[in-house]
Amino acid sequence: MTTAYMMDYEFKMKTQNERIKVEDLFDYEGCKVGRGTYGHVYKGRRKDGSDKKDYALKQIEGTGLSMSACREIALLRELKHPNVINLIRVFLSHNDRKVWLLFDFAEHDLWHIIKFHRAAKANKKPVLVPKGMVKSLLYQILDGIHYLHSNWVLHRDLKPANILVMGEGPERGRVKIADMGFARLFNAPLKPLADLDPVVVTFWYRAPELLLGARHYTKAIDIWAIGCIFAELLTSEPIFHCRQEDIKTSNPYHHDQLDRIFNVMGFPHEKDWEDIKKMPEHPTLLKDFKKNNYVNCSLVKYMDRHKIKPDSKAFHLLQKLLLMDPNKRITSEQAMQDPYFQEEPLPTQDVFAGCPIPYPKREFLTDDDQEEKNDNKRQNQQQQQTQNNQQSQQQNQQNNQGNQQSNQDNHNPAKRVRLSAPQGHPSQVNQQQMPISQQQQEFHQQQMMYNNGQQQQQNFQQRF
Amino acid sequence: MSGNFWQSSHHQQWLLDKQDLIRERQHDLSILAEDEYQKIFIFFASVIQTLGEQLKLRQQVIATATVYFKRFYARNSLKTIDPLLLAPTCIFLASKVEEFGVISNSRLITTCQNVIKNKFSYAYTQEFPYRTNHILECEFYLLENLDCCLIVYQPYRPLLQLVQDLGHEEQLLTLAWRIVNDSLRTDVCLLYPPYQIAIGCLQIACVILQKDHKSWFAELNVDIEKIQEIARYIINLFELWKTYDEKKEIQGLLAKMPKPKAAPQR
């Protein structure tokens, strides 16, 4: 046998010449709008000007085709629904082995929207939004998830940052569910789901059964996350906010997160959740928790404190989404039929219902941001002196919220072990690749800023 | 993604027309006779199957890899990429898509080396010549040529449902399942939707086991002509196997097969 050539030269040349490169088709240099564990996202325009639309170009982290990149491409290639992000095309860059995904650009997302509301609330300058906005958002989230679920796709990582909202344009105010990188088919799991990724959902949005060691993801787990997002939209506060030290533990059991859930919901009675006995971590639960500690807790009281009346239709639906027993939790289909959506104001396709959009556009990130962090030591002092304008404050808030669990650790930064890995989304500024020492420096830097007489609002934001 | 075959890329892009298939193969069929061409694909389906079994992959993953392989050569000549490289590349990609988990590069190469040495020495006298970097490069070409259509619907699930509906017969299911595996050695996965393939395979299994389910088949709302076509492909395969000794013939066929050419010498 003569030496085999793996690939025909002529074939290679032909495909090379036909292949269209992302940089030939799009202008995006200097237009980075997000970075994180998922990679980098740029806002791009077509070079040939054949349309004036904005596009999101996601350069997947690392090189080649990771399993999550494969899943993302495989699933998005098949999915088509107005409330699910649309993959327009894939670019494979053979030279540097980078994978690029092209999407429509979504100007907003719930993480930024909620953050904006929280800031406004703290400033006592409430944002003017259409009355039905939260309802429209929820309806479209449910619609998208219903589509995914009926196609046997679980999202598994629903959180505000993954819910995008389109800005001005033909799809104005439309929800797009994004970040399916970890989504998986679930009708015939080839491997027990828990074996693949130790921890997937950000703890705040994790259903109690996951925290108690459930081995398989279900539709009900996505529904719980939607309930959490709904509550957060209603109150501007993450309902199951919890301090977290190490998110990527392989142990699903998380005492503090469960404690937080029980503090809001009350401790689950066996009559309400019969199968709780069967949960792998049930013995640990009995050992660690006393139900007497939660006798005065209920969702009614929690939401009432946040001015959501227990007799409102919104509350009734929330209660059905946030049922502790996954078997009793409402389905997306049932939820869409809920009386809440039949009551005025009716949900609208444009969640902003034609009103002006009060939220800022995405800001471009400069590569300096990264260098700044790396050069933190050197620039630390200088920055503190110069950072007195609003922009730098914003930047700092953003940084801080990117690693959400850093909050409440203010008194003891040394305790912070690891930053969260927002699976996210274009909008999130993520510092997670930074060494711990640098994170702490940055943290100190922020602290000093607050001591330097920032408004109280910042502290509030800081805590979130 | 089992909910929606009709909207899938499989249905919309990858159910090919038989005439197109013949046209695309013109180059290869000017060098190889039609049965020789098929024998080469039978051989590589076995390579993929054996690799998959050695890697302890599920049949679903193996079947998806085989379909990738067949889709690639449905659009390209055998000479474009050495099928001995494309076969493990298909396994590698399918295992990620089907969420088996990533097979480590070294394990994949070692398995290829062992399988070629221990199971296919009658075809290859030299050791497996490729390394990880070849597989990774090939993977990009594969993904491009598949037009990123990675979700493949297989006949196994519809088959299970059909057999259940028939009043679960273990023997029938086992045989029909094996016939579905065999069908990967034909073009049916490129030409017919998986539920039709499942019915075709089940029908052959009934004939072999002399089970009379005619009235049940009659009640299925399917295009009987298509089912007959599928059955014909598979029966032809069985006929071919009767007189074909792969161990004797394959070296000659692989030698005859069109192969990649290097850059022209200057």
Which tens digit of pLDDT belongs to each residue from B49-67? 999 999 999 999 999 999 9
State the Cα–Cα distance between residues A100 and A39, nearest whole angstrom: 10
In the predicted model, what is the mean pLDDT of chain B?
Answer: 95
Chain A hits for B140, Cβ within 8 Å:
65, 92, 94, 97
Distance from CA of A62 to the nearest CA of B (A): 14
Chain A hits for B92, Cβ within 8 Å:
none
Residue A180 tokens, joined: 């399916």
Better-scored residue on pLDDT, B160 or A453: B160
Asked if A92 has any chain B CB less than 8 Å from its own CB, the reply is yes
Chain A hits for B149, Cβ within 8 Å:
77
Is residue A368 annotated as part of the catalytic site, yes or no? Answer: no
State the Cα–Cα distance between residues A50 and A69, nearest whole angstrom: 29
Asked if A4 has any chain B CB less than 8 Å from its own CB, the reply is yes
DSSP element (H, E) containing A77? helix A67-78
State the Cα–Cα distance between residues B182 and B180, nearest whole angstrom: 5
A40: β partners: A35, A59
pLDDT at A322 over 60: yes
The whole model's pTM is what?
Answer: 0.82
Nearest to A153 among B1, B76, B259 (CB): B1
- pLDDT number for residue B3: 61
State the Cα–Cα distance between residues B226 and B206, nearest whole angstrom: 17
Instruction: Express each pLDDT in B153-209 by its tens digit.
Output: 999 999 999 999 998 789 999 999 999 999 999 999 999 999 999 999 999 999 999
Nearby residues of B1 by Cβ (< 8 Å), 6 or more positions away: A75, A78, A151, A152, A153, A185, B8, B151
| A361 annotated binding-site participant | no
Q: What's the one-letter identity of residue A317? A: L
- Please give the interface size between A and B, counted as residue pairs whose CB atoms are below 8 Å apart: 129
Three state DSSP letters for B4-47: CHHHCHHHHHCCCCHHHHHHHCHHHHCCCCHHHHHHHHHHHHHH
Reduced to 3 states, what is the DSSP secondary structure of residue B114? helix
Instruction: Express each pLDDT in B103-162 by its tens digit.
Output: 899 999 999 999 999 999 999 999 999 999 999 999 999 999 999 999 999 999 999 999
How far out from the chain centre does Cα B219 lie?
30
CA–CA distance from A209 to each of A280, A289, B13 (Å)? 9, 16, 40
Residue B104 tokens, joined: 């480590």
Q: What's the one-letter identity of residue B71? A: R
How far out from the chain centre does Cα A109 lie?
9
Asked if A80 has any chain B CB less than 8 Å from its own CB, the reply is yes
State the Cα–Cα distance between residues A203 and A210, nearest whole angstrom: 10
CA–CA distance from A421 to each of A364, A369, A405, B72 (Å)? 21, 18, 10, 37
Least Cα distance to A160 among A115, A104, A210 occurs for A115
Distance from CA of B143 to the nearest CA of A (A): 9
Chain A hits for B84, Cβ within 8 Å:
4
State the Cα–Cα distance between residues B220 and A375, nearest whole angstrom: 70
What DSSP line would sit under A166-231, residue for residue? --SSTTTT-EEE---TT-EE-SS-SS-GGGT-S--S-GGG--HHHHTT-SS--HHHHHHHHHHHHH
State the Cα–Cα distance between residues A316 and A310, nearest whole angstrom: 7
Average pLDDT over residues A333-346: 98
In the predicted model, what is the mean pLDDT of chain A?
Answer: 79
State whether B260 and A8 contact (CB < 8 Å).
Answer: yes
Residue of A nearest to B83 (CA): A6
Instruction: Express each pLDDT in A359-416 by its tens digit.
Output: 999 999 876 555 444 444 334 434 444 444 444 444 444 444 434 333 333 333 332 2
- pLDDT number for residue A4: 59
Chain A hits for B143, Cβ within 8 Å:
65, 73, 90, 92
- pLDDT number for residue A195: 43
State whether B82 and A4 contact (CB < 8 Å).
Answer: yes
Nearest to A92 among B9, B140, B263 (CB): B140
pLDDT band at B222 (very low <50, low <70, confident <90, very high): very high
State the Cα–Cα distance between residues A418 and A432, nearest whole angstrom: 8
* Helix, strand, coil percentages in chain B from 3-state DSSP, rounded to 5: 70, 0, 30
Least Cα distance to A398 among A428, A443, A424 occurs for A428
Nearest to B150 among A8, A66, A70 (CB): A70
Residue of A nearest to B124 (CA): A1
State whether A11 and B80 contact (CB < 8 Å).
Answer: yes
Residue from B148, B161, B256 whose CB has the most chain A CBs within 10 Å, to mutate: B148
Compute, in degrees rounded to 10, the torsion defined by CA atoms A265, A270, A274, A275: 70
Q: Which among A104, A157, A179, A222 is annotated as catalytic? A: A157
DSSP element (H, E) containing A26? strand A26-27
Nearest to A6 among B85, B149, B151 (CB): B85
